[in-house]
Amino acid sequence: MSHMPVDTSRDSESMRLFKSDFLEFFTHITPLAVLVMWVPVVVLLLAYAIVNSPVAGFPWHILLGIGLGLLLWTAAEYNLHRFLFHYEPTNPRLERIFFLFHGVHHAQPQDKTRLVMPPVVSIPLALLFYGLFYLVFATILQAGHWVVPVMVGFMIGYLVYDMIHYATHHFPMRSGYLKYLKRYHMMHHYKDPEARFGVSSPLWDYVFGTVGKKD
């Protein structure tokens, strides 16, 4: 499934996933479209958190919430990639579904319009995690003013992840930490797809021992 050989001969054209042009349209998206769609949402949520802050003085909880959201995103990124996108189903129908999720990216890793998360995936995930944060912070911890800042940090983490993922496949990234991330992700694709699940950060690979073998 997601570990199928890379079809480099078809990197210049997108593999068709649906017979329907309507359905096929929703499998393609560019990084610019992701930014246009989600950056205003992040800005509006941040403004809402600031305007409606119940804390007197400087709203430190907003900065802390954003930091926590960023950390939670790295954990979500790792776990979604490792356990959901790389799940190996035995049912043919499920194999098809998981190929649509992530297998197509491993089959054609240089496809420019399938490197960032399409809205049909990102919107349900955003709603799911917002509901989870609301449950934990507002309902369980009785700290509802933390929900939006954490969500803001989480969404910033997602946007950074999507942009870095695109960049690792199409930008040179010849120095520093970005060069390291590019090489790290390319090794996931071309050397060991069962390791190096972090894209924007290798943190959880080190925590859970999935860094993979050294060269």
3-class secondary structure for 67-135?
HHHHHHHHHHHHHHHHHHHCCCCCCHHHHHHHHHHHHHHHHCCCCCCCCCCCHHHHHHHHHHHHHHHHH
The pLDDT value recorded for residue 136 is 97
Q: For the whole model, what pTM was predicted?
A: 0.88
Residue with tokens 């054609």: 108
Domain boundaries, the chain: 31-52+61-208
The pLDDT value recorded for residue 12 is 53
The pLDDT value recorded for residue 6 is 47
User: Phi and psi (nearest 5°) for 6?
Assistant: -70, 130
Rg of the chain (C-alpha set) = 18
Q: How far apart, in Å, are the Cα atoms of 13 and each of 101, 109, 113, 120, 143?
A: 18, 11, 10, 22, 49
The pLDDT value recorded for residue 11 is 52
d(CA 76, CA 157): 10
DSSP assignments along 12-75, one per residue: TSPPP--SSHHHHHTT---HHHHHHHHHHHHHHHHHHHHHT--SSSS-HHHHHHHHHHHHHHHH
Task: Give 10-residue mean pLDDT values along the chain (215 residues).
Answer: 46 72 80 96 97 87 97 97 86 76 78 84 95 98 96 98 94 91 93 93 96 77
